Structure 1
């Protein structure tokens, strides 16, 4: 089984390409999708202005308050069911879930987060409804895998103690799912061709090399490299960072197009 993570920009701009890639792949897969741009559009249509914050590491993310959480859940589930509809209409056996279902993905709500404010100063604010993943119910996923060819997961987890849904980072969810099921490969399909150093794609990295390079590369990709290193050490055979915009993106990545961490 492979795990595929598709970012929100690829979902928005190249969903047809991803659907065709899944159809052409032919094997069993878990797809973890983003959809932040679609959630932002939905928020604005509902009169709710999205709020974004920046971490001290320079990572920009959505701030999820109570009202924003409702829109986030609606938006991500809309993306999820749209993907499943497209897959089943092409003859695929597919099911769409979120981490709340089962439950599949458990997380803890972040009580406080540190941000860089508009004056460039560090400030601690209430964490809202974002979460850090604690565990993944691999048994549940494996049972679904016996029935369905494709499992499509929205990046929503559940805090069992507080009884609330949580916005969780899609990359974080994909890495945790891949580790839990010991995936043959984890594909991160983005809007770039792979890890770029001096404008050239790095073809292959070991886990130590990936961890070391993460300290020298920009926000977003640095987290991907760190989590890729940890995933390989945890039993995932390989992590591939590649473009989701090229034709037949999944098979292309599995054939080595992109950056392979193993």
Structure 2
């Protein structure tokens, strides 16, 4: 089974290429999509100014207020159904869900988060409606995939304790799902060609090398490398970080173009 995660910039600028490519791939695919730029666009249209925060590790992320959570759910549902509509119109047996449906992804709301404020100081603030994945119902996903060729999943999760949906990081969702179903391949489609060091794409990394390299590259990609190593240690065969902007992006990644992280 292949899991494909499409980053927000790829969703905004190159989604059609991804969909057309998936149509011609004769394997079952789970597609997890982002869409942060589109959420921002709709938030502004509705008079809600998006808030972004930076972690002590230098990772910039969306701060999801209760007000913006509604916009996030709306935008992600729109993206999800647009993808499913296109796939179904081209003869693909596809279904679109979020992690909330059937509580496929269970998460815990982050009650407090540490940020770097405008003065460069660490500060603890209320966590908003962002969650950390706690459990994925891998068996349920695999059972559903007996009936469908493609499953499109929005990065939302259910907080059972507080009984609310939560915004979860798309990468985190993709890695958690891949581990839960022991995916053969996880493809991360980004707006770059792979992991780049000193101007060159690194073609292959072992889990040990990925962990070591994570200390030398920028925020965001370093997290992908750490999660990739953990995923492989938990049963995923390989993780490929590749360009989602090129033609045939999924086929290109399956041809091992980009950065391939594996045990061997």
Which TM-score bucket, shorter chain as reference?
over 0.9
Unaligned runs of 5+ in 2: none
Q: Deviations over 1:42-89 (max 9, x none)?
A: 000111111110101111111011101111111111111111011111
Matching residue of 1:92: 92
1:72 and 2:72 equivalent? Answer: yes
Alignment partner of 1:25: what SS?
A: coil
Matching residue of 1:82: 82
Contact 1:24 1:248 in 2 (8 A): no
Matching residue of 2:110: 110
4+ residue segments displaced more than 6 Å = none
Unaligned runs of 5+ in 1: none
TM-score, length of structure 2 as denominator length? 0.98
Q: Deviations over 1:188-236 (max 9, x none)?
A: 0000000001111101000010011001100100000000000011010
Q: Deviations over 1:133-165 (max 9, x none)?
A: 001001110111000000000000000111000
- Taking the aligned partners of 1:170 and 1:27, their CA distance within structure 2 comes to 22
Structure 1 residues 45-194: aligned runs within 5 Å? 45-194=45-194
* Superposed displacement of residue 102, structure 1: 0.8
Contact 1:6 1:34 in 2 (8 A): yes
Alignment partner of 1:91: what SS?
A: coil
- Taking the aligned partners of 1:83 and 1:197, their CA distance within structure 2 comes to 33
Alpha carbon RMSD of aligned pairs, Å? 0.6
TM-score, length of structure 1 as denominator length? 0.99
- Taking the aligned partners of 1:78 and 1:238, their CA distance within structure 2 comes to 30
Aligned residue-pair number:
262
Matching residue of 1:205: 205
Q: Deviations over 1:74-126 (max 9, x none)?
A: 11111111110111111100000000001100000000000011111100000
Matching residue of 1:233: 233
Alignment partner of 2:232: what SS?
A: helix
Alignment partner of 1:88: what SS?
A: helix
* Superposed displacement of residue 26, structure 1: 2.0
